[in-house]
Amino acid sequence: MRHIIYDTDNRPKSKRILTYTAGPADEGRPVRDIILYKWKLVAHDVARAKYETPDGITVNGEVVWVNRLLREGDILRVVITDHAPDRIIPAGGSIDIVYEDEDLICINKPAGIVVHPSHGHYADSLANRLAGYFEQKGEPHEIRTIGRLDKDTSGLLLFGKSRSAVGLMDDQAEKGIRTKVYLALCEGEFAESDGICDIPIMREFDGNVKRVARSGGDPAFTSYKVITRYEGYSLVRLTIATGRTHQIRVHMSHIGHPLLGDPLYGNGVFVHPDAPEIKIERTALHAHSLAFDQPFYGNRVELTANLPDDMAAFARHSGGAW
């Protein structure tokens, strides 16, 4: 359950209410066990619940300390508050919401839009649109990205509505519980149907953002599987165990199969060999599927986003399944 409340300075903040009914196995268990091990709240949230909210931690409606022992049937209620800063300008613009609950929202990001405000994009980023969406709903949230996508990459991008939710999702990624699958159109026809790139990545020291696959860099692990081979290019499924900047683009280029349309690691605009009117004019990478456990309830969530029109056109024209 989520509510909106205001501080004495009229600054809005969101209030997330978590509840738990103690079962037989919880008899004699301290409240802190539920807070720390079931919900995995961070110390910052626990402190706010204890000291900044009058009814922040209650059992059966009575304010308690975290060492309070539970009995079967007790109802634990914890309030998490979270300020929403003013640094992102709310803006209009469509957003394709694939999933939303009290703690998370997943957007199908179009290619060509930056995720966060940056130089030249102070009010037209995806975060600005999301801030505008939350403003329309009357929900003040800080825009917290879980993972990242480059400007030209399309597909699923997850955001957290609280610091705790983001922390739990980051923990899931480290444990392999939160997974993401990418689809890419790569130049050339792969000799092998699948493979692994276990090659470190480092930044080139020439003043640009380009990365290179080279020993001495940060560990980077990418696995790939060819879905369909076309004439001159392939549709490839990719997963990454690390999140280095431009990782997929660097690794595919390193093994001789740069992504179609990639201006930095490939050959830029790619024209369909049999249909000149069909072009890829951006890096052909799409975050296709995402799976995770809901951070507080634990139910499994599995999401997909179909290939965008520019990538799908290549597959359709060549007789692919997309």
**Alpha carbons 284 and 259: distance in angstroms, whole number:** 6
Other C-beta atoms closer than 10 Å to the C-beta of 52 total: 12
Angle between helix axes 43-51 and 163-175 (nearest 10 degrees) is 150
Q: 139 Cβ partners below 8 Å, 6+ apart?
A: 2, 4, 14, 161
**Alpha carbons 322 and 313: distance in angstroms, whole number:** 8
Cβ distance 134 to 102 under 8 Å? no
- β-partners of residue 108 are 156
**Alpha carbons 81 and 163: distance in angstroms, whole number:** 10
Catalytic residue flag (residue 150): yes
Q: Is 248 helix (H, G, I), strand (E, B) or coil?
A: helix
Which position has the token pair 């660097």?
Answer: 250
Cβ distance 143 to 114 under 8 Å? no
The single residue of 26, 82, 150, 262 carrying the catalytic annotation is: 150
Cβ distance 315 to 235 under 8 Å? yes
12 DSSP 8-state letter: E
Cβ distance 300 to 291 under 8 Å? yes
Side chain identity, residue 148: R
Side chain identity, residue 310: D
Q: Point out the residues that are catalytic.
A: 150
